Amino acid sequence: MNVQVTINGEKLSADVEPRLLLVHLIREVFRLTGTHIGCDTTHCGACTVLLDGRPVKSCTMFAVQVHHRDIQTVEGLEQNGALHPLQEGFIAEHGLQCGYCTPGMLMTTKAFLAKHPSPSEDEIRWAISGNLCRCTGYVNIVKAVQHAAAKLRAAAPAGGAR
Amino acid sequence: MIPAGFDYHAPATIGEATALLSRLGEDAKVLSGGQSLIPLLKLRLASPRHLVDINRIPGLAYVKEADGALRIGALAREVDLDESEVVRGRYPLLADATRVIADPLVRNLATVAGNLAHGDPANDHPAVMLALGAEVTATGPTGERRIPVGSFFKGPFETALKPDELLTEIRVPAPAPRSGGAYMKLERKVGDFATAAVAAQVTLAADGTVAVVGIALTNVGLTPIKAEKAEASLRGKQPDEATIKEAAQLAADAARPEADLRGSVEYKKDVIRVLTARALRKAIERAGGGK
C-alpha cells in the first residue's frame, strides 16, 4: 500500500506492507534512526514520535495508519543548526547517560511543554511516566525539562512553545 | 516483533465497516486505538487475516452530554476523557479511571470503546461502566441495538458483540444531584494492569442515606464483577464507617481472583476489601455526604 506522510515538515511516500510498523517505516524506510526501538512491547517509550502533535509509541501503530498525517521525530528538533531548548536542557542538566531513551523523552516533553509552559515537578514526572530511563533515576531529566521550560518561557513571553 | 501478514481495510463510514465485517466474518478484527490489539498481533497471540481500521470514519471521537447521558463515541481516546471539562466536573469515577489506564502515551491512542470491546477483565473501563450502569450501542449491517453493560461481558475476551457489529457508542446515565464516584487501583507500576481495582458510584438521598450505589471490581475474575451483595448492604443506610466496612468485606467475598505474579488469592481479596472502603469513602465525600 502507498503511504504519504509528512515527517518533520517534509512530504514523503513509500509503498509498504500493511503489517509494517510505524517505527520501522521511520527507521528502515526513511532512514531516520534517531527514533529508537527499546522494548518493542509498548512499555518503554523510546520509540515516541509526535502524531499530529501528540506523543505516541511508534512501535504500536502501523505505517498505513499515518497516511496523510503529520509526524515529528527527534531529527526535527534542531532548527538551522540550533538545538531545541529541550536538547540544550538535557545537555546542561545531564539528563542522559546512555542516551537510549532520550529521543522519546524529548518528543514526549516537547508536546507536554507546549500545553504546560510552567509545569511542577509532579506534572513533569506524570508526563514522562510512559517513558522509561534505566540510567538517570529521572532527577536530571526533570531538571532538564525545567531548564527548557524556563528557556521557552523567556523566548516566548506570550506562553507559546515552539 | 513483526505481526503476521493481513489485509488492511480503511472504511470511510460505519455502513462500509459493518458491511466489511459482515463479509469477512471471524477472519476480521476491528482496529481502533490498537493499543491492546497491536501488541497481541506482534506477539502473534492473534493473527486475523483482515484488519478493519475504523480510525478514518469521521464523527466518532466525541465526548458530550446529550439526552440525559454522557455519550462517548467509538473513537474517543482516553486523553479525550481526561481533557473533557464535563467528565472532570460531573463524572469523577471516569476522570479517576482514565488517568490510571496504561500511560500517557498509550492514552493518546487507546479508545474507551476499545477498552470495553476487547473484553479483557484486566481492563479498567469494564468495571467502571458496570458501576455507572452504562449501556453500549452495537451497530451492525441491519441497524443498532442497545446492550446494558451488565450483560455485555460474557467471558475473558468475549463480549455480546457479534462478529459483524461495531461498538459505536457508550452511554453513561447523567448523575442525579448528590452523586459521586471514585476509582481506586493498585498497580505495581505505571502501565501495569491492576493487581486489583474498585469502581464505586453512589447517589445519596436528601437525608444522607444511600439511594443508588454501584460497586464493581477489576481483574479479580474471568469478567469484571458487580459486587451486588455489597451494593445491597448499603442501600437505604447512612453510609457510616461500620456500614462501609461491611460492604467492603462483602465486595472482597465477591472477588474470584487467581494467584499470579501480582499476588496470592488472599492478598488480592484483601486489596479489594481495602480499595472498596476507600472508593466508597471518596465517592460519598464527592456526593457531598457524611464524614
pLDDT digits (tens, 9 = 90+) for B191-220: 999 999 999 999 999 999 999 999 999 999
For A50-65, what is each residue's pLDDT tens digit? Answer: 999 999 999 999 999 9
For B105-152, what is each residue's pLDDT tens digit? Answer: 999 999 999 999 999 999 999 999 999 999 999 999 999 999 999 999
DSSP state of A64: G
User: Shortest CB distance from A41 goes to which of B6, B7, B39?
Assistant: B39
Q: Does residue A162 form part of some domain?
A: no
Q: Are residues B185 and B248 in the same domain?
A: yes
Beta strands, E only, B99-233: 135-140, 143-148, 153-155, 158-159, 166-173, 179-186, 196-204, 210-218, 225-226
Q: Phi/psi of residue B242, each to 5°?
A: -65, -40
Q: Does residue A147 form part of some domain?
A: yes
For B91-117, what is each residue's pLDDT tens digit? Answer: 999 999 999 999 999 999 999 999 999
User: Shortest CB distance from A1 goes to which of B8, B105, B190?
Assistant: B8
Beta strands, E only, A8-97: 10-15, 48-51, 54-57, 70-72
Residue of B nearest to A127 (CA): B104
Q: Structure pTM?
A: 0.95
User: Shortest CB distance from A129 goes to which of B35, B42, B190?
Assistant: B190
Q: Are residues B277 and B198 in the same domain?
A: yes
Residue of A nearest to B5 (CA): A19
Q: Phi/psi of residue B210, each to 5°?
A: -80, 120
Q: Do B39 and A61 touch (CB under 8 A)?
A: no
Q: Do B38 and A60 touch (CB under 8 A)?
A: yes
Beta-carbon contacts below 8 Å between A and B: 76
Judged against a pLDDT cut of 90, whether residue A160 lies above it is answered with no
Q: Do B35 and A1 touch (CB under 8 A)?
A: no
Q: Does residue B1 form part of some domain?
A: no
Q: What is the CATH number of the domain that holds A141?
A: 1.10.150.120
- Interface probe for A, chosen from B38, B54, B105 (most Cβ of A below 10 Å), is B105
Residue range of the domain that includes A33:
2-76
DSSP state of B172: E
Predicted-complex ipTM score: 0.95
Residue range of the domain that includes B37:
7-53
Q: Are residues A66 and A115 in the same domain?
A: no
Q: Do B42 and A61 touch (CB under 8 A)?
A: no
Over residues A23-33, mean pLDDT: 98
Helical spans, DSSP H, in chain B? 14-24, 37-42, 78-82, 85-90, 92-98, 104-107, 112-117, 125-132, 228-234, 241-254, 265-286
Q: Are residues B166 and B90 in the same domain?
A: yes
Q: What is the CATH number of the domain that holds B154?
A: 3.30.465.10
Distance from CA of B249 to the nearest CA of A (A): 33
